[in-house]
């Protein structure tokens, strides 16, 4: 028996505010995987992404009475981003650094004509992933939201608590930095 399909739309805010379990299950089913992917791209650590995504839903549940109109995805991504910032501050206070990237997340492979082509593609993907992880948070977050999560600049601004123009500039600076880094590695 296959699982039920993902909901196409977010549940009604009133149902979420009232604690309707079916609405919360629908919200979780719709946004769990995108949140985990977003957090993985920011942290480079699948375990950390899983923990932060779970905590995002816990915080959302606790703050359910504050749900108003607007996009629920923006609200959830804001919570996730803030939790990640808090986690980084916690680690920094303990003089620990987050380094490297675990290969826990399987690569999406292109069925290229040869194993050499596939290896080259994986190598390029790893270079891009490493270059994205090397960006400062202020550039990495808006870039990941724009490119991988396909958020609008207005949504990114809301998630990051900045102006639309600031989000636009950060995305442009991140892309410029990636071009320089990846051109230097070629």
CATH class of domain segment(s) 115-186: mainly alpha
Domain extent listing, the chain:
10-100, 115-186
pLDDT one-digit tens code per residue, 10-33: 788 888 988 889 999 999 999 999
pLDDT of residue 119: 60
Residues 6+ apart with CB under 8 A from 161: 78
pLDDT of residue 96: 35
pLDDT of residue 110: 42
Residue of higher predicted confidence among 43 and 105: 43
**Share in percent of the chain as helix, strand, coil (round to 5):** 70, 0, 30
pLDDT one-digit tens code per residue, 151-179: 999 999 999 999 999 999 999 999 999 88
What's the topology of domain 10-100? Rna Polymerase Sigma Factor; Chain: A (1.10.1740)
pLDDT one-digit tens code per residue, 58-107: 999 999 988 877 788 899 999 999 999 888 777 666 543 333 334 444 44
pLDDT of residue 109: 44
pLDDT of residue 121: 64
Residue of higher predicted confidence among 125 and 120: 125
pLDDT of residue 171: 94
Cα separation values, 172 from 10, 78, 104, 139, Å: 30, 21, 29, 9
Residue of higher predicted confidence among 118 and 124: 124
Q: Is the pLDDT score of 136 beyond 90?
A: yes
Question: DSSP characters for 82-145?
Answer: HHHHHHHHHHHHTT----S----SPP-----SSHHHHHHHHHHHHHHHHHHHHS-HHHHHHHHH
């Amino acid at each position: 028996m296959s699982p039920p399909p993902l909901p196409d739309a977010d549940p009604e805010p009133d149902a979420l505010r009232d604690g309707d379990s079916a609405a919360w299950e629908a919200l979780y089913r719709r946004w769990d995987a995108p949140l985990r992917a977003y957090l993985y791209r920011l942290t480079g650590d699948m375990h950390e992404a899983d923990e932060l995504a779970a905590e995002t839903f816990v915080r959302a549940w606790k703050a359910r009475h504050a749900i108003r109109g607007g996009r629920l995805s923006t609200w959830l991504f804001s919570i996730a981003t803030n939790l990640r910032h808090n986690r980084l501050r916690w680690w920094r206070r303990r003089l620990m650094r987050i380094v490297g990237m675990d290969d826990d997340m399987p690569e999406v492979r292109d069925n290229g004509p040869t194993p050499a082509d596939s290896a080259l593609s994986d190598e390029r993907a790893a270079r891009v992933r490493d270059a994205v992880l090397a960006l400062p948070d202020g550039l990495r977050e808006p870039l990941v939201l724009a490119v991988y999560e396909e958020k609008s600049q207005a949504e990114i601004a809301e998630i990051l608590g900045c102006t639309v123009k600031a989000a636009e500039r950060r995305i442009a600076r991140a892309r410029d930095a990636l071009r320089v880094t990846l051109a230097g590695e070629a």
